[in-house]
Amino acid sequence: MAFGPPLSLMSLVSVLRKKFAGLFEIELVEQALYDLTMEEIKQRMENFRPDLVLLSCLSVEANEMREVAALSKAVFPEVPVWLGGPHATVFYDWELEAGNIDAVCIGEGEKTFEEMVNAWLSGKDLDDVPGLALVHDGKVVRTGDRPPIEDLDSLDPPAWDLIDLHIYAHYTSMNTFVKATPWALLFTSRACPFHCVYCHNIFGKKPRRRSVDHVMEEVDLLYHEYGVRELHIIDDIFNLDLPRAKEICDRIIDRKLDLKIAFPNGLRGDRMDRELVRKLKEAGTYSITYAVETASPRMQKIIKKNINLEKMKEVIAWTDEEKLITQAFFMLGFPGETREEMEMTVNYALNSRLLRAWFFTVVVYPRTELFEIAKREYPDFDFSGYDLFNLRYWSEQPFYTRVTGIDVYKIQRNAYRRFFMRPSIILKIFSRFPKNRWLFIGLYYGTRSILTSLNKIELLFRPLQRKIIHYLASGK
């Protein structure tokens, strides 16, 4: 599992410090990072005795979040429990109906949270705060949409002082490897104007950018005050505004910062030009991930990604020529996709100059256009009984397999085997990847995937997996 600093909660702490200075004592609990048991969390709650509990999680962490919410209500029944973050925006009614969440913040949280706290301190209910989901008379209701935050420069940086970045340096990041430590995540903008049908649309469709000065203030803070030596930029689409992206590079270059930079969230390949690739390298970038998704022109139109596949292949080649680590995301098993189209995607990866390819199985989440496409494509499938909440990228059976009977996991495993078992790729990985423990962790996962696809001996790896990864990540 990848770990990253809890930016959403850290940003809310910054709101409390700015708007309610000196009014709150704050304790940030990083449950996943420290692998805290429910008993350990209970002890911390009883010691701290909170007046308000805030939770945030991704959908893959939702089960643990539910346990913490239930625990909070059991220990302190009268204390409000508020939920926000990516999972909450999609699954707000699931969580409210579970009975342990009092309010869910949908989408961006900073302005909504400020108004929630003001209402709570005044003894008012939250009905007049836009951007929430609540329960009234046993029914989930929305309080209205919250407009996006236009001026991102008005927001203070996340509360970096509340976490130990050196601890994160010992665990797998979103990028899955790092070149320098400590590392930190960085948002320089929010939202994406494109309309991919699988998008959760957390930040809306109107791109909003922090000024370059504002971005560099946080870069300087992380570099000089917290000793950060690697940035993982996780914008929805960092290179939407090419002149701005180049200016950020120029500022980092001019400051002569000894920084390494990675883009694990996926850049838009057809928004890239060669000058930006070169500037990114000069600024310290060593790894770029591109979001391709599918190599089928038909599926590109259906999912509304509309990538220029030939331009993308050219951009990947430019990136490789600059000796950067080239990665790409691919998705297998879209509703209505054929075996032949999945094969097109695998072949595209094989025939590109990618150093690493990620082949994900498609997860059909509710409140996305992809969910509506799935319902149209498979009208006889019982979506009412479909356990969407428990679907994960590694779930027991992907959606596509459930509705078609085709083993998409087998296609995925064969794709990984065909991609990584080539001697040329193995040699380039050893020559270009950082020579540290993350290389060996990657080799472990790669070996496991290949052996699983050949001999189906996954069960042999499971008992040792956590011990192996913990040992390698600990640096012992």
Each residue of 300-351: pLDDT tens digit? 999 999 999 999 999 999 999 999 999 999 999 999 999 999 999 999 999 9
Question: Is residue 131 a contact partner of residue 145, using CB atoms and an 8 Å limit?
Answer: yes
Residue with tokens 């009268």: 78
pLDDT at 438: 73
- Mean pLDDT of the chain, nearest integer: 90
Mean predicted confidence (pLDDT) in 367-373: 94
Domain stops at, among 330, 352, 368: 368
458 pLDDT higher than 70? no
Q: Evaluate whether residue 2 is within a structural domain.
A: no
pLDDT at 457: 47
Q: Evaluate whether residue 374 is within a structural domain.
A: no
Say which amino acid occupies 194. F
- CA–chain centroid gap for 282, Å, is 26
pLDDT at 395: 58
Phi, psi of 56 (to 5 degrees): -145, 145
Tell me which residue range forms the domain holding 121.
Answer: 7-142
> Which tokens go with 402?
């459930």
Give percent of the chain above pLDDT 70: 90
Task: Say how many C-beta atoms besides its own lie within 10 A of residue 201's C-beta.
Answer: 16
Q: Are 118 and 248 members of one domain?
A: no
Q: Evaluate whether residue 257 is within a structural domain.
A: yes
- CA-wise closest residue to 187 among 2, 8, 3: 8
469 pLDDT higher than 70? no
- CA-wise closest residue to 112 among 132, 91, 142: 132
> Which tokens go with 314?
């050219």
Q: Are 132 and 278 members of one domain?
A: no
Q: Evaluate whether residue 204 is within a structural domain.
A: yes
394 pLDDT higher than 60? no
pLDDT at 439: 73
pLDDT at 445: 61
Q: Are 176 and 235 members of one domain?
A: yes
Task: Say if residue 423 is exposed, middle or buried (CB neighbours under 10 Å; 0-12, 13-18, 19+).
Answer: exposed
Q: Are 134 and 179 members of one domain?
A: no
Q: Evaluate whether residue 26 is within a structural domain.
A: yes
> pLDDT tier at 393 (50, 70, 90 boundaries)?
low
What three-state secondary structure class fits 352?
A: coil
Domain stops at, among 322, 337, 368: 368
Domain stops at, among 351, 368, 385: 368
Task: Say if residue 386 is exposed, middle or buried (CB neighbours under 10 Å; 0-12, 13-18, 19+).
Answer: middle
Q: Are 56 and 169 members of one domain?
A: no
- Distance of alpha carbon 127 from alpha carbon 136, whole angstroms: 10
- Distance of alpha carbon 125 from alpha carbon 111, whole angstroms: 17
Q: Are 168 and 92 members of one domain?
A: no
Mean predicted confidence (pLDDT) in 112-119: 97
- CA-wise closest residue to 104 among 157, 155, 66: 66
pLDDT digits (tens, 9 = 90+) for 65-91: 999 999 999 999 999 999 999 899 989
Q: Evaluate whether residue 439 is within a structural domain.
A: no
Q: Are 196 and 267 members of one domain?
A: yes
Question: Is residue 197 a contact partner of residue 370, using CB atoms and an 8 Å limit?
Answer: yes
- pTM of the predicted structure, to 2 decimals: 0.91
- Distance of alpha carbon 217 from alpha carbon 211, whole angstroms: 10
- CA–chain centroid gap for 388, Å, is 19
Q: Evaluate whether residue 154 is within a structural domain.
A: no
pLDDT at 240: 94
| CATH (domain of 322) | 3.80.30.20
Question: Is residue 7 a contact partner of residue 185, using CB atoms and an 8 Å limit?
Answer: yes
Question: Is residue 160 a contact partner of residue 172, using CB atoms and an 8 Å limit?
Answer: no
Question: Is residue 217 a contact partner of residue 252, using CB atoms and an 8 Å limit?
Answer: no
pLDDT digits (tens, 9 = 90+) for 355-364: 999 999 999 9
Q: Are 110 and 230 members of one domain?
A: no
Beta bridge partners of 233: 186
What does the angle CA 451 – CA 425 – CA 470 come to, to the nearest 5 degrees? Answer: 55
Q: Evaluate whether residue 375 is within a structural domain.
A: no
Q: Are 84 and 185 members of one domain?
A: no
Phi, psi of 141 (to 5 degrees): -130, 150
| CATH (domain of 33) | 3.40.50.280
- CA-wise closest residue to 24 among 125, 114, 142: 114
Q: Are 137 and 173 members of one domain?
A: no
What three-state secondary structure class fits 293?
A: strand
Do you find a cis peptide bond into 182, omega within 30 degrees of 0? yes
DSSP state, 152?
G
Q: Are 108 and 225 members of one domain?
A: no
- CA–chain centroid gap for 369, Å, is 20
pLDDT at 157: 97
pLDDT at 476: 44
- Distance of alpha carbon 226 from alpha carbon 182, whole angstroms: 8
Phi, psi of 214 (to 5 degrees): -65, -40
Looking at the 3D structure of the chain, how many domains does it have?
Answer: 2
> pLDDT tier at 382 (50, 70, 90 boundaries)?
confident
Q: Are 195 and 240 members of one domain?
A: yes
pLDDT digits (tens, 9 = 90+) for 12-71: 999 999 999 999 999 999 998 888 999 999 999 999 999 999 999 988 888 899 999 999
